[in-house]
C-alpha cells in the first residue's frame, strides 16, 4: 500500500485540490525523500478522496487503478496466500463446531440467525441498487460529455451535487459550532425525548484534560450517570469516532454508567471556535446514539448492559439518533451562525434533505459488492475452500452471481485489502451495516408516524428497547417497540431504491 503512493512531478497536475491537500501531499513527498514533489498516498478502500476534486483525468485514472491492486501484486506484501489460508482455516473451524461454513457459524448467534436470511434481504436490494447506479452514470455522462469510468465518478458527482442541489458544505461550517451542536442539538434532542439533563463538571478529573465530564440526571433529579466527551484529535489517539463504556450500568452492583464519546476533530487555534463539517455533526449525533444506549440502560447484569448486543443490531440505535440532525425543532435550535446567531438557511436544509438519495445507487452497489464478497468467502465448506486458488476469479464470480458487476462502481473493498473481514472482527458481519439500517429506517418511520420529537415517544423507545441492552432477544425487543416485525420498505424508500 505504501509504495503504491503516486508521485506527482508538477503542481499543475494537482489542479482542483485545496491548499491543505497540496501542502500535505508536498509534506508526504518530503518525508519519502522527494522534496519539491507531491505524493498522493493510498487509503484503505477502492478509490481515493482526492478523486472528487482532481481535474487531471490521467492522474485520476492512475490513482484509481493503483488503489484497486493494493496487496495484490505478487510481491512479499501480496495478501492472496494468507487470505486463502484464513478462508481454509475458518471453514475448518466451522466444521469442528458442527457447522457447514464459517458464515453459518458466525451468523448463528446474530439477529439474522442464518446466512440464507441475509441473502434474502440483500437480494431484495441488489437489483434496484445497480439499476440506480446505472441511471446515475447516465446523468454523470451528460455532465462529463464522455463515458463515466470509476475514476470519473467522484469528480462529476461533486459537480452535479453543486449544480443540482447547490450544496457547498464548506459554507455551512460556521453554522455548526461544536458547543452549540452538542448542547443545543445533541443534548437538546435527548432532553426532549428522554427528559434527561446535562451539567458539565469541570471539577471532575478525567483521563485527559480534553476529556470533558457531564453529569446526566433524570427530570426528577435522580442520577443517570456520567457522559464524557473527548472530541479533538491528538497524536496519542487512534483515528475515527467511537463510543466506549468505562462503567457498565447494572443493578447487580448498583452501578451507574460512565460512557465516553470519542471524535477526531482537528483542534482550532486557541481562542477560535470549533466549526464542524456536516459529516462531523452527523458523527456526533451518531456516536451520541451509542452513548444513550449505554446511559439509559436498565438491566441487572453488566454482561448485557447498554451496547452489549449483537453486532448486526448495535448500530441501529445510533443510526436512529441521526434522524434529529435536520429535524426542524432541533436544527433550528442548534444550527446558528457562530458570529451572527442567524439560522442555517431553510433552503440549505431543504437541499440537504433533497440530496439524501443522491448517489445512493453508487453507495449501495459498492457496499453490497463488499458485503456479498464477505459472505462468499465465508460460505465455503472446508472441501470447497481447499479447491479455490484463483482469488481474483473467485471475487469476480461472486460479484457477478449477484448481478452487481458494473465497472464504473468497483466493490468498496477488494479481497486483498478488505481489512474489516480479514484483519478486523467483521468476518461474515459486513452485512450488518445495512441489516441494522432496515431497523433504523423502520424506527424513524415510527417516530414520524407518532409525532416525532416527543417525550412519550422517547419513553416508549427506552422502555421497550434502548434501556433493555442485550437482556431480551433483539428481534423480540424490536417487535415490542414497533408492534410488528421489521419491514424493508422504509430503507428502500430512504435510499431511493423503491
Ligand atoms: Zn456506530
Domain boundary (302, 325, 357) is at 357
User: Residue 176 is placed in which grid cell?
Assistant: 455548526
For residue 390, the CA-to-ligand 1 centroid distance in Å is: 35
pLDDT at site 424: 79
* Residue 231 located in a structural domain: yes
Number of domains in the chain: 2
For residue 96, the CA-to-ligand 1 centroid distance in Å is: 33
Listed residues: CB within 5 A of ion ligand 1: 315, 318
Residue in this structure with the C-alpha cell 465455503, named with its chain if needed: 380
pLDDT, tens digit, 9 for 90 and up, residues 281-305: 999 999 999 999 999 999 999 999 9
Query: Would you place residue 151 in the very low, low, confident or very high pLDDT band (cuts 50, 70, 90)?
Result: very high
For residue 242, the CA-to-ligand 1 centroid distance in Å is: 7
* Residue 44 located in a structural domain: yes
Higher pLDDT, 431 or 163: 431
| pLDDT of residue 162 exceeding 90 | no
For the segment 312-336, the average pLDDT, to the nearest whole number, is 96
pLDDT at site 84: 96
* Residue 254 located in a structural domain: yes
Task: List the alpha helices (DSSP H) in 97-175.
Answer: 102-107, 115-144, 150-165, 169-172
Average pLDDT of every residue of the chain: 94
Interacting residues of 329 by C-beta distance below 8 A, sequence separation 6+ = 192, 452, 453
CATH code assigned at 264: 1.10.1370.40
Q: Are residues 187 and 328 in the same domain?
A: yes
pLDDT at site 446: 98
pLDDT, tens digit, 9 for 90 and up, residues 378-428: 999 999 999 999 999 999 999 999 999 999 999 999 999 998 899 878 899
Domain extent, residue 350, equals: 173-357
pLDDT at site 147: 96
pLDDT, tens digit, 9 for 90 and up, residues 8-31: 999 999 999 988 789 889 998 998
Instruction: Identify whether the C-beta of residue 72 lies closer than 8 Å to the C-beta of residue 79.
Output: yes
pLDDT, tens digit, 9 for 90 and up, residues 432-487: 989 999 999 999 999 999 999 999 999 999 999 999 999 999 999 999 999 999 99
Domain boundary (357, 385, 419) is at 357
Domain boundary (328, 357, 386) is at 357
pLDDT at site 164: 85
For residue 146, the CA-to-ligand 1 centroid distance in Å is: 38
pLDDT at site 238: 80
* Residue 269 located in a structural domain: yes
Cα dihedral 208, 212, 215, 216 sign: negative
* Residue 382 located in a structural domain: no
Q: Are residues 194 and 63 in the same domain?
A: no
pLDDT, tens digit, 9 for 90 and up, residues 209-257: 999 999 999 999 999 999 999 999 888 888 788 999 999 999 999 999 9
| pLDDT of residue 79 exceeding 80 | yes
pLDDT, tens digit, 9 for 90 and up, residues 366-375: 999 999 999 9
Q: Are residues 190 and 55 in the same domain?
A: no
For residue 316, the CA-to-ligand 1 centroid distance in Å is: 8
* Residue 396 located in a structural domain: no
pLDDT at site 240: 80
Catalogue the active-site residues: 287
pLDDT at site 118: 95
* Residue 270 located in a structural domain: yes
Strands 242-247 and 258-265: antiparallel
Amino acid at each position: 500500500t505504501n509504495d503504491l503512493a503516486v508521485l506527482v512531478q508538477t503542481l499543475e497536475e494537482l489542479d482542483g485540490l485545496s491548499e491543505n491537500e497540496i501542502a500535505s501531499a508536498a509534506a508526504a513527498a518530503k518525508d519519502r525523500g522527494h522534496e519539491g514533489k507531491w505524493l498522493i498516498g493510498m487509503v484503505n478502500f477502492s478509490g481515493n478522496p482526492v478523486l472528487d476534486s482532481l481535474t487531471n483525468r490521467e492522474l485520476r485514472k492512475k490513482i484509481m487503478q493503483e488503489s484497486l491492486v493494493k496487496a495484490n501484486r505478487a510481491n512479499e506484501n501480496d495478501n492472496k496466500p494468507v487470505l486463502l489460508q484464513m478462508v481454509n482455516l475458518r471453514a475448518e473451524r466451522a466444521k469442528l463446531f458442527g457447522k457447514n461454513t464459517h458464515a453459518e457459524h458466525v451468523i448463528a448467534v446474530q439477529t439474522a440467525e442464518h446466512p440464507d436470511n441475509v441473502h434474502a434481504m440483500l437480494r431484495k436490494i441488489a437489483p434496484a441498487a445497480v439499476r440506480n447506479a446505472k441511471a446515475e452514470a447516465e446523468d454523470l455522462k451528460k455532465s462529463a460529455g464522455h463515458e463515466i469510468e470509476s475514476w470519473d465518478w467522484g469528480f462529476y458527482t461533486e459537480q452535479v451535487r453543486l449544480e443540482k442541489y447547490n450544496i457547498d458544505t464548506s459554507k455551512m461550517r460556521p453554522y455548526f459550532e461544536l458547543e452549540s451542536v452538542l448542547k443545543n442539538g445533541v443534548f437538546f434532542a435527548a432532553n426532549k425525548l428522554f427528559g434527561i439533563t446535562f451539567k458539565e463538571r469541570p471539577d471532575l478529573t478525567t483521563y485527559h484534560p480534553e476529556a470533558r465530564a457531564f453529569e446526566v440526571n433524570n427530570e426528577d433529579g435522580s442520577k443517570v450517570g456520567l457522559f464524557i466527551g473527548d472530541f479533538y484529535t491528538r497524536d496519542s489517539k487512534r483515528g475515527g469516532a467511537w463510543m466506549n463504556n468505562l462503567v457498565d450500568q447494572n443493578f447487580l452492583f448498583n452501578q451507574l454508567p460512565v460512557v465516553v464519546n470519542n471524535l477526531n476533530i482537528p483542534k482550532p487555534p486557541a481562542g477560535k471556535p470549533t466549526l464542524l463539517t456536516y459529516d462531523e455533526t452527523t458523527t456526533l449525533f451518531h456516536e451520541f446514539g451509542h452513548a444513550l444506549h449505554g446511559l439509559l440502560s436498565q438491566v441487572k447484569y453488566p454482561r448485557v448492559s447498554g451496547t452489549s448486543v449483537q453486532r448486526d443490531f448495535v448500530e441501529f440505535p445510533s443510526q436512529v439518533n441521526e434522524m434529529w440532525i435536520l429535524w426542524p425543532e432541533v436544527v433550528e435550535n442548534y444550527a446558528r451562525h457562530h458570529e451572527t446567531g442567524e439560522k442555517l438557511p431553510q433552503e440549505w436544509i431543504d437541499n440537504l434533505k433533497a440530496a439524501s438519495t443522491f448517489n445512493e445507487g453508487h453507495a449501495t452497489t459498492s457496499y453490497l459488492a463488499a458485503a456479498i464478497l464477505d459472505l462468499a468467502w465465508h460460505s465455503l465448506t472446508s472441501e470447497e475452500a481447499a479447491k479455490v486458488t484463483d482469488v481474483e476469479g473467485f471475487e469476480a464470480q461472486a460479484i457477478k452471481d449477484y448481478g452487481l458487476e458494473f465497472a464504473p462502481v468497483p466493490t468498496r473493498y477488494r479481497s486483498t485489502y478488505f481489512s474489516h473481514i480479514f484483519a478486523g472482527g467483521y468476518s461474515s458481519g459486513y452485512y450488518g451495516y445495512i441489516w441494522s439500517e432496515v431497523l433504523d429506517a423502520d424506527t424513524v418511520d415510527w417516530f414520524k408516524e407518532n409525532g416525532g420529537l416527543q417525550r412519550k415517544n422517547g419513553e416508549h423507545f427506552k422502555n421497550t428497547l434502548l434501556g433493555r441492552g442485550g437482556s431480551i432477544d433483539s428481534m423480540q425487543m424490536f417487535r415490542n417497540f414497533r408492534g410488528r416485525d421489521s419491514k424493508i420498505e422504509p430503507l428502500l424508500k430512504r435510499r431511493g431504491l423503491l
